[in-house]
Amino acid sequence: MHNIGSYDERAKNFSWDISEKELGYQPGDNINIGWYCTDRICDMGKAEKTALIWEGLGGKHKQYTYNDLRLLSNTIAGFLTSLGIVAEDRVCIFLDRIPELYIGFVGILKTGAIAQPLFSAFGEESLIVRLENAETKAIITQKKHLGKVRKIVDKLPYLKHIIVVDDPGKAPLQQLEIAFDMDNAERLEHYEVYPTKAESPSVLHYTSGTTGMPKGVKHVHYSLISQYLTAKWVLDLKENDIYWCTADPGWVTGTSYGIISPWALGVTQCVNDIGFSADAWYSFIEKHRISVWYSAPTAIRSLMKAGDEVIKKYDLSSLRHLASVGEPLNAEAVIWSDKVFGLKFHDSYWQTETGSIMISNYPGMPIKAGSMGKPFPGVVSAVVDPESYEEINDTGKIGLIAFRPGWPAMMRMYWNNEQVYKAKFNNGWYIPGDRAYIDPEGYFWFVGRDDDIINTGGHLVSPFEVESALLEHPAVAESAVVSKPDFVNMEVVKAFVCLKPGYEATPELNLEIMNFIRKKLSPLAMPQDIEYIPNLPKTRSGKIMRRMLKAQEWGEEIGDTSTLEDD
């Protein structure tokens, strides 16, 4: 029997009280996600249950019980408190997928501070923009990333501590740096968890915008109410499941469903920090008898590309439920997974700003391959007209996806950016910025983004951010960045570049510019293709017409060019 039971019944009689009661929370109580993910599970008699199974490169393996989680998160929280970290200070986690990332996240929340997870492949430019905006007080990192932090430390006046989790004491630490060895630190039995309330801030995730720099999305401890129940009903997590969420906690999926919800449900979860290959992933599933697998379309398409033969080498019979997130899951991937695993991937739709799953395919509900599914019970969703923001009642007519504000995990603000936050709401709806239509049976079908944001492998890349970085290269006079189709990643970054006099387009320059962006921003933001052109198409007012360049890449109609400046 699936946790959700009948979707129609749940949708008809829904109240978030269901989640509050199961978590033992009443309005007005203290609610600290860190406590709910550790101490509460121990209090329920599951102290010796395995909470985390971790595998790293070179055969490294670590395992932690819920009591380990409780004690180690207390230890981290106590260490941060001893450094002077107080409630609502921003503490950045800049780590690979090592146990200190997962347990550190919980420890930060126990102090009442705000966890700010950042993707460990970010270069110094991506890093400084986010740390500067958040006025981050401490960074938890490891030796391999210290170089990037050291390059920018003098530009961050609010930064007081750089905590290095894997320093063996051989190399001298520099200003602000302090070593912390989680596994060998003296474990702290008692830590007074900070009495956060429903609206106390918990996590600050950065997401890319069409214009301007990335925006800090602030979530609160009450988001647990959504994250707990969506994981239970959408991912169908049960007492004896072994769960694997493949998302990096630098992104919201990796925190909402890779840390918070599985541990709030008392489930055993696995983390793989050995990189992607079909053999490595199938071997990981077989070895740990993974039963619930939450992944991304990019990874699924990469597995499709690796072929069906490789699957026959492994016993994957432990799998019972598959789900997908990050970008639209094409119908072919659903059909393929049914053929090779005997299970269909269940697509789910949400974003950093929503904090939890909003539209999904549910266990026991018929799947229409290629559809996003139906709104989560209690979530009021519609497709609205892009100009009037009135609800569209015609089935099949394309409009903007819209949600009625009020679900527990909704973002509470963009950090220091109230104006842009308010612009996300119109006519009583929250507008995520995606286009879709609804079919006669109430299923949502994704059509595309309503802006220039590039969704490459489930990660949002801002064209503006890449263009700004390109202009810092000495050869680049002007640039425009758009998406281009790609089988595995759905779309990748393409840059159109106008060179300064004295520079020539060569394969060497191509490579140099690509690496320049990779180091400054991240591998995800690096252009996979660079086209050199003498002039960029612009309107008479000087605005670059990215639409024309994008249409060219996707083989679409260029549309109205009446505002194009004369040659």
- Helix extents (H) in 342-451: 418-422
What pLDDT does residue 212 have? 61
Domain boundaries, the chain: 7-339, 454-554
Structure tokens at 515: 């690496």
Of 400 and 544, which is predicted with more confidence? 400
What pLDDT does residue 562 have? 41
Cβ within 8 Å of residue 416, ≥6 positions away: 133, 216
Predicted confidence (pLDDT) per residue in 39-79, tens digit: 999 999 999 999 999 999 988 999 999 999 999 999 999 99
Of 275 and 218, which is predicted with more confidence? 218
Q: What is the mean pLDDT of the chain?
A: 92
If you count them, how many residues does the chain have? 567
Rounded CA separation 447/459 (Å): 17
Using the structure block, give the residue that is written with the tokens 């740390």: 131
Structure tokens at 416: 């220091």
Rounded CA separation 357/515 (Å): 35
Of 539 and 355, which is predicted with more confidence? 355
Residue 545 has pLDDT above 90, yes or no: no
Rounded CA separation 249/120 (Å): 10
- Helix extents (H) in 261-405: 261-264, 278-288, 297-306, 331-341
Q: How far is CA 351 from each of CA 327, 410, 433, 455, 472, rounded to the nearest angstrom?
A: 10, 10, 10, 12, 31
Predicted confidence (pLDDT) per residue in 75-114, tens digit: 999 999 999 999 999 999 999 999 999 999 999 999 999 9
What pLDDT does residue 118 have? 96
Kindly report the pTM of this predicted structure.
0.87
Cβ within 8 Å of residue 17, ≥6 positions away: none
DSSP 46: I
Q: How far is CA 125 from each of CA 130, 176, 242, 455, 461, rounded to the nearest angstrom?
A: 9, 20, 38, 20, 14
Of 539 and 457, which is predicted with more confidence? 457
Using the structure block, give the residue that is written with the tokens 């759905």: 490
Residue 425 has pLDDT above 80, yes or no: yes
Q: Which of 198-207, 325-334, 377-386 comes out lowest in average pLDDT? A: 325-334
Region 7-339: CATH code: 3.40.50.12780
Rounded CA separation 532/504 (Å): 9
List the one residue out of 433, 539, 528, 533 whose CA is nearest residue 490.
528
User: Which class does domain 454-554 fall in?
Assistant: alpha beta
The interaxial angle of helices 143-152 and 124-134, nearest 10 deg, is 70
Rounded CA separation 269/288 (Å): 10
**Bridge partners, 346 (sequence order):** 323
Give the type of residue at 250.
Answer: G
Q: How confident is the model at residue 291 (pLDDT cuts 50, 70, 90)?
A: very high
Rounded CA separation 129/109 (Å): 23
What pLDDT does residue 547 have? 78
What pLDDT does residue 567 have? 41
Q: Above pLDDT 90, what percent of the chain? A: 77
Predicted confidence (pLDDT) per residue in 499-526, tens digit: 988 999 999 999 999 999 999 999 989 9
Q: Which of 171-175, 376-380, 541-545 comes out lowest in average pLDDT? A: 541-545
State the average pLDDT over residues 429-438. Answer: 93
Residue 541 has pLDDT above 60, yes or no: no
DSSP helix/strand/coil, 100: helix
